[in-house]
Chain A
Amino acid sequence: MSATGKVLNVEGLRVSFQTEAGLVKAVDDVSFSLDRGEVLAIVGESGSGKSVTAMTLMGLTRGVNARIEGAAQLDGKELISASDEELRVIRGAELAMIFQDPMSSLNPVYKVGDQIAEMILAHRDIAKQEAGAQAVELMESVGIPGAAERADNYPHEFSGGMRQRVMIAMALSLEPQVLIADEPTTALDVTIQAQILRLIADLNNKHDVATILITHDLGVVAEIADRVVVMYGGRIVESGTLEQIFYEPQHPYTWGLLGSVTRMDRPRTDRLTQIKGQPPSLLAPPEGCHFRPRCPYAFDKCTQKPSLEARGGDPSHLDRCWLPAERKAAARAPEAAA
C-alpha cells in the first residue's frame, strides 16, 4: 500500500439509540476519511457525537437498543457490518483506542504488565513470558521509568499520566493501523497533558499510525492535528485542514469555539466569549441547521437542513452553513483583525 492511501473511510454513519424518552440520534450522517500517518481531530462539545462515532467504529456501541447504519472500511475491511467475532479480531490489533479517564480504564485487580500482555495474547499465538517481555518493552517505549519493575505494579500505584502511558503502550502493542484517542488528556494535569500529546505525536510520526484525536480542546488540536472535523449535534458542521479551520473558519459554531479559547497572543479581554444557549437535544433536534437556535447569524434559510459541501471554493474545506461567503468573511473580519 502506498504511504498516502486511505486507511480508514467512514461513509454515511448514523447511530441512534432507543431510549425510554424516544429515539436519540447521536450520530447523523457522518463521513470522513483518514490517510495513513495522519492525525485527524474530531472537535465538538459534549453530546456532539464525537465519542459515539469513535466507539461505533470499535463496535462498542452495539447493543439491543442501538441502530447503526452506514459503512466504514478499515484498510478495506468493513467494520459496521462485521460480525462480533470478525470485529473482535480487528479490535485492538488493527484499530486500537485510548480512553478519556485513565484512572478507571484499567482493571484495578490485575498487574499492568499482565493487562498489556493479555491484549497481545488475545491476538498473537506466543508464550506468556514473551508477551510479558513485550509488555515491558512497550512500557519503556512510552517513557515509563523502571518498566521492568513497574510491570508488576497495580494500576492504583500509578499516577494518572503514567496510567495513560500504560493505556497508550497497550493500544500500540499490536501496531494498529489506526489509533483512536478519545479525549486522552482531559483527565490529566496541564503539564502532563503536554507530555502525553507529545508522546502521541511522536508515536504517530515514528510508527506511521493514523490517529483520530477526539477532543473539545482546541489547544490540543492546534498542537498535533493535520486535519480537523468539527461536530455539532451529531453532524459534521465543518471539516478541513488545520490551517483552514483555524484561519478561515466557515461555520459560526467554529467561530464560537475559536472565540472561547484563551489566547496569549491577543490582548486580554475581561471575559472569554462563550457560545450562548444549550447544546441541542438529540431527542428533538431543531429543524434545519442544528446550530440555528444559538446562532447569531441565523436567517430564514436556516430552517432547511444545509448539506456538508465545499462552499468556499477549496474542495478540501467543507461546511454546513447557508451564510453567503461574503457574509462569512465579514463576520470573521473582526476576529482576524483582533
Chain B
Amino acid sequence: MADSPEYRREEPGAQPPALHLAYASTVKRAPQQQPIRLPHTLSEITGPTWDRGILRPSDDDLTRQHKGAPLGERIIVSGRVIDEDGRPVPGTLIEIWQANACGRYIHPKDRHDAPLDPNFTGAGRVVTDDEGRYRFVTIKPGAYPWRNHPNAWRPAHIHLSLFGPAFVTRLVTQMYFPGDPLIPLDPILGGVPDPAARQRLVSSFDLETTRPEWALGYRFDIVLRGRAQTPPLG
C-alpha cells in the first residue's frame, strides 16, 4: 500500500514552546528533552470522527442550559474551521468552556471571590457543518485573577478544543476579545512567539454575525494543519 501523504509540520513561530518562563506553571511541567520527530503513519493521519447525533439541543447555546438566563452580555461566536490551504474542515467537534460574566468558573478548584451564576455552566459543543462553519451563543466571560505573578489577570477568553481529521490536527486553544487591555500583559498568549500568530487568537467584532435587538457577534476562524500533498481521491 502506498504511504498516505503526511500533514504539514508546525509553522515556525506560530506554536508556543514547552518552556515559557513568564508562565510559571511551565517551569516544572515542560519536558527538557527535545521531542523526537515522528513519521506520519496511519496512527497519525487517522483520528476520532464525530456524528452530529451526539449533540443535545442546548449544547450550542450556553444561555439556555438552565431554567433562567445567565447574567451578562449575550454574544454570538461564529467562524469557520479550515486547513492551511483554506479547505473547510467539516464534521469536526469543537468543545468550549469559559468563566461566567463575573470571571468565575463553576469548577470546584476556582477560588476567585466572584459570584457563581446558577444559570451558567459555561460548557458547550458544536460540530462544524459541510463548509466548516460553526456558531454558538454564550455570554461574554469576565477577566479573572490568577497567581502567576503579582496582580496577574487573565484577559477574557473562551477555551476551544478541536479534533480535525487526524490525530496530528488536534488543537486546544483560547479565543480572546478585541481591544482587551489585558491582552499585551498575558503570559499565556505571550507564549506564542510570532506577533502575527498571536493576533490570530483575537476574535473580531462582526456586524454580520450580530443579531439586531439581541446580541453582538464575534468572528473567530480556526486554521488547522493541512496536508503536505493532496491525498489521492478514493
Indicate whether A and B interact: no
Interface residues of B (CB under 8 A from A): none
A interface residues (Cβ-Cβ under 8 A, vs B): none
